[in-house]
Structure 1
Amino acid sequence: MYDLAAMGAWLEFAVRWLHVITAIAWIGSSFYFIALDLGLHRNRNLASGADGEEWQVHGGGFYHIQKYLVAPAHMPDGLIWHKWQSYWTWLSGFFLLVLVYYLGAEFYLIDPNVMDLATWQAVSISLASLAFGWVAYTVLCNVFVNANQTVLMVALFAVLVAMAWFYTQVFTGRAALLHLGAFTATLMSGNVFFVIIPNQKIVVADLMAGRTPDAKYGKIAKQRSTHNNYLTLPVIFLMLSNHYPLAFATEWNWVIASLVFLMGVTIRHWFNTHHARKGNPHWTWAVTALIFIAIVWLSTAPFAQREAAVVTRFAEAQGFEEVHDIVLGRCSMCHAAEPVWSGLMWAPKGVVLETEADLTRHARAVYLQAGISHAMPPANVSYMDDADRAAIVAWYLSATKG
């Protein structure tokens, strides 16, 4: 039993590592090529017929880069296709979704207090939502193909806000934000697999057949690549959110997730404008900071309180005995030196909550994870009710007031 559990943990670790490695490769190449394209000098009437060029220095060497709108006169040898980073990021991410959320649905995907689903129902909703995302996005791109691209981005944002709300109505908060990230990442990988690479292959095939490629294929690919550029940072935030209960396990988690997309736009706008040599719109950083402050406020509303570092007072604070009983009944079956919950070999994150001293030592974590957020117990498997959470909040604030 231990060997299987250890093997499962290492399998998850390996897949997560692969996911991080491939995501870094994909994001890095995406950011680089967007910056390169925006920074090209296009006013030099190059003899090669290229649309623009740029000189760069890195690692002690100089690089002379030229971009062709369609293709050069002759097909170059050793043409590099940037696609596998995207494919493996999505595949490893989906495998991780299966390992953590589908196989661990009882803990991480389903919360009976949100919607009492069977595992197969929750998994079906998850899969259907990812497929729906690509279909809806494709329809939007086709409808707004000739419109101002800002209109298209606003329409896409509306879909993302709707999905953020939807996911919080069917899954745990943790799974909701993770799924919103997977939903967005599916659009991004779909752009590469279904649009960008096929369009580039059409151009290459035309060139090899002696035909003049249609420039529209490159234009469409560039549009989808730009969408990916603006969606990348929100996806990173959403994928990391499961480590921060104040992001995923609060009442306004879907609003927080929606605001994260706006932060992604403001940050990328600064970089894209800077790389295009059109100035440095520092106002975007001010807007980003204001949005983040709003997120921080939403994460603790309506329980925002000033925390005082008076840990020694926790045991004497009003309600301590009641909270200790709550923690023993709702948390200690997992957070114990020898957990009794099936499948757990040690206390999650090494947090033990068996004694009064344990509770006072981890008071802040209990307050954040089980008081003002619903991060713990995961999927509320031990049925901690609102009265229990209110008691934890009241006890913690009683100990830290002043």
Structure 2
Amino acid sequence: MPEQAIILEWAGFAIRWLHVITAMAWIGSSFYFIALDLGLRRAPDLPPGAHGEEWQVHGGGFYHIRKYLVAPSQMPEHLTWFKWESYSTWLSGAALLALVYWAGAELYLLAPDSPLGLWQGIAVSGGSLAIGWLIYDRLCKSGMAERPTLLMLLLFVLLTAMGWAYTQVFTGRAMMLHLGAFTATIMTANVFFIIMPNQRIVVADLQAGREADAKYGRIAKLRSTHNNYLTLPVIFLMLSNHYPLAFATEWNWVIAALVFLMGVTIRHFFNSMHARQGRPWWTWGLTALIFAVIVWLSALSPEAAQEATLTPAQTRLTEAPGFDAVQEIVAIRCSMCHAAEPLWPGLAHAPGNVILESPADIARHARPLYLQAGLSHAMPPANLTWMEPAERQALVAWYRAAAR
């Protein structure tokens, strides 16, 4: 129903807003504590068990922070835990994934030539997210933790392979998003299954008067460091749906793999700086080189547009009263940009990879047309093609007639 489309759009906005807010909180605290940990200094007056301290100034006041490598001698009266930022980010992201890619699976999830059916695609979408964590966790517990560079290399191979696998069944846009969710699941699982349980063991030892084992802190620190290097690529993947040059190309999975490498080079610079080990400016040159390769790959060849069999609901849209008029409106007002070869100056690909050249194209994008060009004036941008109010009303009438 038309009302359902409006409700879903606002629900998506609310969940997306929540997801961004919680992600900002998680990423901010993660970056802060990594920088704090790397910047700790030894001081002659440190209490027993303290590893280092840091003086900081912010908001008009001074802060004196000390870190205990294992734990203080007794349990402090007040202890702040950092966990809900991670959990809330993952839960809101999972809700957004379900709303956009499961409820809108026909439009956004499956590639036109995907061997999967609708429900199979949804099952793969949800079930595949846990695979990365299971493999990664097994690697960490296999003794590979003593060889962190090799472990990170194997994780990179896993992420690259998963990106390629997603392209075999999902659209380019869905591949990028799912690879981001796949990686974010590893990060949140690190917090939920490793970092927090290990910290609870240390707290329990303190409360019982036992000496805490340092190994739990080392394990948690390793997983936290991995999360630090994965954060920037996840941000890119979550925003990639705005950039067809990234997802709507034949080499989108390679672009995603290169983004992970850029995440490593960028974080290496800041981690080295915070650890007072100098500023390795070469990392920015390498980052620029990787980015140049991404730009080159994006221009090689666009993702081929393929016709897919319309669902019964989409067929009703092409047969609904007013469709002929809508097709003419779209051809005049929209298709100069939303085409396989856009005519608008400066456009190499259709915005959002949305192509509106055939009746099937219009049917598959009926809801966005209704919401963005019918009910609202979001499209065309700044009304550059002079869409008339009567034409917007025609889009709304057509969509509602098909829904009825």
Query: Which TM-score tier does this pair reach, normalised by the shorter chain?
Result: 0.7 to 0.9
Q: Distance in 2 between matches of 1:366 and 1:121?
A: 39
Rounded to whole Å, the distance in 1 between the matches of 2:163 and 2:359 is 23
SS of 1:64's equivalent in the other structure is strand
Instruction: Give the superposition deviation at 1:358.
Output: 6.1
Q: Deviations over 1:312-331 (max 9, x none)?
A: xxxxxxxxxxxxxx9xx99x
- The answer as to whether partners of 2:43 and 2:53 remain within 8 angstroms in 1 is no
Q: Within the alignment, does 1:164 sit opposite 2:163 as a pair?
A: yes
Tell me whether 1:376 sits opposite 2:354 in the alignment: yes
Cα distance in 2 between the residues matched to 1:300 and 1:33: 39
- Cα distance in 2 for residues equivalent to 1:341 and 1:85: 45
Does 229-238 or 145-154 show the bigger shift? 145-154
Query: Conserved in 2, the CA contact under 8 Å of 1:12 and 1:99?
Result: yes
Q: For residues 32-71 of structure 1, what are the structure 2 equivalents within 5 Å?
A: 32-42=32-42, 44=44, 46-71=46-71
Query: Do structure 1's residue 102 and structure 2's residue 124 form an aligned pair?
Result: no
Matching of residue 283 in structure 1 with residue 310 in structure 2 = no
**Residue in 1 aligned with 2:15?**
15
**Structure 1 residues 119-130: aligned runs within 5 Å:** 119-130=118-129
Deviation at 1:119, TM superposition (A): 1.5
Q: Which amino acid aligns with 1:251?
A: E
Equivalent residue for 1:359, pick from 311, 336, 342: 336
Mark the CA change 1:88 to 1:203 in structure 2 (over 3 Å): closer, same or farther.
Answer: same
SS in 2 for 1:240: helix
Q: Report the counterpart of residue 347 of structure 1 in structure 2.
A: none
Superposed CA offset, 1:106-153 (max 9, x none): 00001222x132221001111221111111111111124453210100
Shift in CA distance, 360/382, structure 1 to aligned 2, threshold 3 Å: closer
Go from structure 1 to structure 2 and tell me whether the alpha carbon gap of 1:382 and 1:140 turns closer, same or farther (over 3 Å shift). farther
TM-superposed CA distance for 1:49, in Å, is 3.3
Q: Is the 8 A contact 2:190 2:224 kept in 1?
A: yes
Residues 35-83 of structure 1: CA distance to partner in whole angstroms, max 9, x if unpaired?
0000000354513531100000000000000001111122112211000
Gapped regions of structure 2 (runs ≥ 5): 309-315, 321-328, 363-404
Letter in structure 1 aligned against 2:195: I
Deviation at 1:9, TM superposition (A): 1.0
Distance 2:318 2:59 in 1: 53
CA displacement at 1:364 relative to structure 2: 3.5
The CA distance in 2 between the partners of 1:68 and 1:20, in whole Å, is 32
C-alpha separation in 1, matches of 2:103 and 2:280:
46
- SS state of the match for residue 331, structure 2? coil
CA distance in 1, matches of 2:319, 2:215: 57
For the residues of structure 2 that align with 1:244 and 1:59, how far apart are their CA atoms? 37
SS where residue 196 of structure 1 aligns? helix
CA distance in 1, matches of 2:243, 2:289: 20
Structure 1 distance, partners of 2:202, 2:110, is 46
- Note the 1:309-324 alignment, pairs <5 A: none
Could you tell me how far apart the structure 1 residues matched to 2:359 and 2:116 are? 13
Residue 381 to residue 190, structure 1, CA distance change in 2 (3 Å): farther
Q: What is the aligned residue count?
A: 340
The amino acid of 1:375's aligned partner reads: N
User: 1:340 and 1:365 mapped to 2: Cα distance?
Assistant: 31
Contact 1:107 / 1:381 at 8 angstroms: preserved in 2? no
Change (3 A) 1:83 1:374: closer
The equivalent of 1:387 in structure 2 is none
1:369–1:376 contact (8 Å) kept in structure 2 = no
Match of 1:334 in 2: none
Question: C-alpha distance in 1, partners of 2:333/2:106?
Answer: 29
**Cα shift at 1:33:** 0.1
2:332 maps to a residue whose letter is T
Counting aligned pairs with the same residue, the percent is 61
The yes-or-no answer on 1:204 pairing with 2:203 is: yes
Counterpart amino acid of 1:134?
W
What secondary structure, in the 3-state scheme, does the structure 2 residue paired with 1:355 have? helix
Judging changes above 3 Å, is the alpha-carbon distance between structure 1 residues 381 and 65 closer, same or farther for their aligned structure 2 residues? farther
Q: Which runs of 5+ in 1 are unaligned?
A: 304-325, 331-338, 344-351, 385-402
Is the 8 Å Cα contact of residues 106 and 381 (structure 1) preserved in structure 2? no
Range with greater deviation from structure 2 (233-242 or 3-12):
3-12
Alpha-carbon contact 2:243-2:352 (below 8 Å) kept: no
Distance 1:357 1:220 in 2: 54
Look up the equivalent residue of 1:376 and give its one-letter code. Answer: V
Q: Distance in 2 between matches of 1:111 and 1:3?
A: 28
Give, in angstroms, the shift of residue 383 of structure 1: 7.0
Aligned letter for 2:37? D
Q: Give the TM-score, by structure 2 length.
A: 0.78
The answer to whether structure 1 residue 223 and structure 2 residue 200 are counterparts is no
Task: Give distance in 2, aligned partners of 1:234 and 1:47.
Answer: 39
Q: Is the 8 A contact 2:172 2:249 kept in 1?
A: yes
Structure 1 SS opposite 2:354: coil
